[in-house]
Amino acid sequence: MRFHALATDYDGTIARDGVVDDETIFALERLRASGRRLIMVTGRELDDLIRVCPRLDLFDLVVAENGAILYEPGTKLEAVLSGGPSLDLVNRLKAAGEPDVSVGRSIIALWKPHEVEALEGIRDLGLELHIVFNKEAVMILPSAVNKATGLEEALKRLELDLPGVVGVGDAENDHSFIAACGYPAGRQADQPRGSIDEQAALHAGLAAEPVGPGSCTTTRQDRRQERDADRQATIGVVEPEPLDDMHRQGGQGHSDGEVGQEQRARQCKHAAIGQIGPIRVSHIGISA
């Protein structure tokens, strides 16, 4: 199965300390040039994201505030997908002396270990909110809002489906949207920083030796030959097939290898979802 879009987290995934390096920008440009769609899915507030990321123009849509905001960089239009923040809760937190309380269009954000006070405020005020963690960050949002719901709305507007999306992230709040994607990828706890779960990516049909422009998959036999030739070879990333070619094929005529990839993608859907950490998008797809 071929992928049509990349949905990626920002901090710790394509950005380090809030900055996207030149190699990653070049990779995203190549992905866009292939006809794929790019969607950013981040917990950052929109104004803050615009301030730190000068290349939002690379993305068709941005899901911000952990699923509460949808932003189109090309038109600078935004849509709030949930209710606004509870001012009663904000005032309560500030009155209790909670430092660094940040308020967005929908999100209320603070830092550990102040989630206890936030939870008590939600309970005492009778609010239908939930707390989402992102490493040391604490995010308070309407109960039905997360990155998965925001991504689903973005894909609806782009007329795309989740099975054709690669999902990449590095923290607790990324689990929901990565698990929803047809191709999940993340770094396992025992892997070095900067690498993805290569085995899960292989099963999902994302990882293989480069096969040249215009190709998007390798067959099961191809991969077996590669492993036999050198079992220690580093798994690279396939070149994306031009989108026009995919549309012409209309999803017909998959080889046995491609069908096997699709089945294994479903079997290992959660293999890359566990303790995951910062990874990087480089070259055209997802690699170390």
pLDDT tens digits, residue range 260-279? 444 444 443 433 333 333 34
pLDDT tens digits, residue range 95-119? 998 888 999 999 999 999 999 999 9
Residues 12 and 113 in one domain: no
Q: Answer yes or no: is 219 within a domain.
A: no
Residues 35 and 56 in one domain: yes
Rounded distance, CA 36 to CA 8, Å? 13
Which of 180, 202, 224 marks a domain boundary?
202
Q: Answer yes or no: is 181 within a domain.
A: yes
Report the predicted TM-score, pTM, of the whole model to 2 decimal places.
0.69
The pLDDT value recorded for residue 99 is 82
Residues 91 and 75 in one domain: no
Q: Is the pLDDT of residue 91 over 70?
A: yes
The answer to whether the peptide bond before residue 113 is cis (omega within 30 degrees of 0) is yes
Q: Answer yes or no: is 131 within a domain.
A: yes
Residues 74 and 181 in one domain: yes
Rounded distance, CA 8 to CA 22, Å? 17
Q: Answer yes or no: is 279 within a domain.
A: no
Residues 43 and 124 in one domain: no
Q: Say which residues have a Cβ less than 8 Å from residue 170's Cβ, sequence separation at least 6.
A: 9, 11, 12, 13, 186, 187, 276, 277, 278, 279
Which of 118, 142, 166 marks a domain boundary?
142
Mean pLDDT, residues 12-17 taken together: 93
Task: Give the containing element (helix H, strand E) for 72.
Answer: strand 69-72
Rounded distance, CA 221 to CA 21, Å? 36
- In the numeric block, which tokens belong to residue 153? 């709305």
pLDDT tens digits, residue range 137-179? 999 999 999 999 999 999 999 999 999 999 999 999 999 999 9
Residues 33 and 59 in one domain: yes
CA distances to 159, 169, 179 from 280, rounded to whole Å, are 27, 9, 18
Residues 73 and 181 in one domain: yes
Which of 121, 142, 163 marks a domain boundary?
142
> Which domain does 62 fall in, by range?
5-80+146-202
Q: What are the contacts of 113-121 at 24+ separation with CB within 8 A?
A: 114/138, 117/93, 118/89, 118/93, 121/89, 121/92, 121/93
Question: Is-contact 179 83, C-beta < 8 A?
Answer: no
Question: Is-contact 222 208, C-beta < 8 A?
Answer: yes
Residues 9 and 136 in one domain: no
Residues 32 and 76 in one domain: yes
- When divided into structural domains, the chain yields a total of 2
Question: Is-contact 43 49, C-beta < 8 A?
Answer: no
Residues 123 and 16 in one domain: no
Residues 99 and 41 in one domain: no
Identify the CATH number of the domain in which residue 48 sits: 3.40.50.1000
The DSSP line for 100-151 is S-EE-SS-EEEETTTHHHHHHHHHHHT--EEEEEETTEEEEEETT-SHHHHH
Identify the CATH number of the domain in which residue 111 sits: 3.90.1070
Task: Give me the sign of the Cα torsion angle 241, 2, 79, 25.
Answer: negative
Q: Answer yes or no: is 262 within a domain.
A: no
Residues 184 and 55 in one domain: yes
Q: Answer yes or no: is 33 within a domain.
A: yes
